[in-house]
Amino acid sequence: MALKIVVGAQWGDEGKGRIVDWFAAQAEVVARYNGGDNAGHSVTVGAKLFKLHLIPSGIVHPAPIAILGNGMVINPESLFSEMESLEKVGVKVGPQRLRISHAAHLITPVHKALDKAMEIARGKDSIGTTGRGIGPAYTDKAARTNLRVADMIAPDFIEKLSAHIMAGNRSLAALDAPQLEIEPILAIFAAYAERILPFVADTAAEMDAALKAEKTVLAEGAQGTLLDIDHGTYPFVTSSSTLAPAALLGLGLGLNAARGAVVSGVCKSFQTRVGSGPFPTEIEDDLALRLRGTGENPWDEYGTTTGRPRRVGWLDGVLLRYAARLNGFTELVITKLDILSGLPYIKVCTAYTKDGKTYTDLPFGPTDLEGYEAVYEQLPGWTEDVSAIRRWDDLPQAARDYLDAVAKIAGVPVRLVSVGPEREQIVEAK
């Protein structure tokens, strides 16, 4: 058994795509288990920048089979457009390589329209969703009314889709949102149904067979721990389970698949967040501009899916420890260390205070972060550019001290550090 699960330790955007790309060099199967095209994973290989939303980032390597698991919500329009973009840059995505669970749920234009209309209706309390229809699709899944990939290849698909759009139009009317025209959607989805057929598989059985054959399987989490529907900063979360244990359910694996699994927690060397919700270590001064970047580079802190500027702040050690506990991290991967170079000092939040009391753990998880103030440990910065460094011992002492401090706070050893966006800009810990 060789299951490795890569999970974001923060609010998403930790740089999981490039880390999955690093691990995928050894993988035989790469799989997504949650979410949909709300994710934005970037992989830079030489002059090529691959932006993936639905398909596992590991597909960029020629060998692994890519799986879209049953825990996902799939918008066929995004799926085919992503497949076409990948094919254009030479990545093969035929049915031999890409397998889509028959039990994954669909995202339709109804879900996208409802996502938008519901955000407008929430007004100042909006969640700041990506607008991809994720919430409404998972809502329909839980209500047991949604369409699944298997429905697309059944003879009554068009009838079911038509009923789904009519129901959606009733919900849209209740929100004073424009109605959707039914016929054009039916025509487009009839064509999608024909295209998707060769890719549909019982991916749970394929995953099981791969693990039994001792293949190396990489499960790629989307979003991050703090966006998890149960354990994140509810209600400012996504609608799926993002945590490592969800990889089992979202891929249809039994508990024994977890025996000996490696769980890699990917954590940016500072904190970022897109969308609304509490953020105790947020900073808004010149330093914030420095950490965010100008947006000229693809790795600057602007959403891959929406282009929105991300909120930035110091690394939150309290939330990192929480993430380590919930996911069962066996190793940490720290990304974007190069961005900290040149800062006179670096702060890490080690506790919170509220009403005169100090908390190193939150009494009720991160749902109620309002009113908690961050307590920081301040560490010295370093001036050296670390982007060309490939050996742990060559990192500046202050950088190694910072990484050691993060590992100690999390209670998990650091395994890898990224020092730039390129595939090779990785330092392995000793």
Contact residues toward ligand IMP (CB under 6 A) are 11-13, 38-40, 127-130, 132, 134-135, 222-223, 227, 236, 238-239, 274-275
Q: Which helix (H) or strand (E) holds 73?
A: strand 73-74
> Chain-centre distance of CA 335, in angstroms?
14
Is 130 or 350 the residue whose CB approaches ligand IMP more closely? Answer: 130
Q: Report in angstroms how near the CB of residue 389 gets to ligand IMP at its nearest.
A: 28
**String of DSSP letters for 29-53:** EEEE-SB-TT--EEEEETTEEEEES
**Which amino acids are annotated catalytic?**
13, 41
Is 130 or 418 the residue whose CB approaches ligand IMP more closely? Answer: 130
Q: Minimal CA–CA distance to 268: which of 337, 330, 348?
A: 337
Is the CB of residue 313 less than 8 Å from the CB of residue 350?
Answer: no
Is the CB of residue 268 less than 8 Å from the CB of residue 10?
Answer: yes
Is the CB of residue 209 less than 8 Å from the CB of residue 190?
Answer: no
Is 70 or 223 the residue whose CB approaches ligand IMP more closely? Answer: 223
Cis peptide leading into 235, omega within 30 of 0? yes
> Chain-centre distance of CA 108, in angstroms?
21
CB atoms within 10 A of CB 392: 15
Is 11 or 402 the residue whose CB approaches ligand IMP more closely? Answer: 11
Is 268 or 321 the residue whose CB approaches ligand IMP more closely? Answer: 268
Spatial neighbors of 258 by CB under 8 A, at least 6 apart, are 3, 245, 248
Rounded Cα gap, residues 143 and 70, in angstroms: 16
For residue 406, the 8-state DSSP code is H
Q: Report in angstroms how near the CB of residue 54 gets to ligand IMP at its nearest.
A: 11
Q: Assign residue 181 a region (left: φ > 0; alpha: ψ between -120 and 50; beta: otherwise).
A: beta
Using CB atoms, what's the residue nearest to ligand IMP?
Answer: 275
> For residue 4, what are its two tokens?
């490795």
Q: Report in angstroms how near the CB of residue 36 gets to ligand IMP at its nearest.
A: 8
Q: Report in angstroms how near the CB of residue 59 gets to ligand IMP at its nearest.
A: 17
Q: Report in angstroms how near the CB of residue 209 gets to ligand IMP at its nearest.
A: 30
Q: Which amino acid is at 95?
A: P
- Half-sphere exposure at residue 380, Cβ-oriented, CA atoms within 13 angstroms: 8
Is 206 or 301 the residue whose CB approaches ligand IMP more closely? Answer: 301
Q: Report in angstroms how near the CB of residue 145 gets to ligand IMP at its nearest.
A: 19
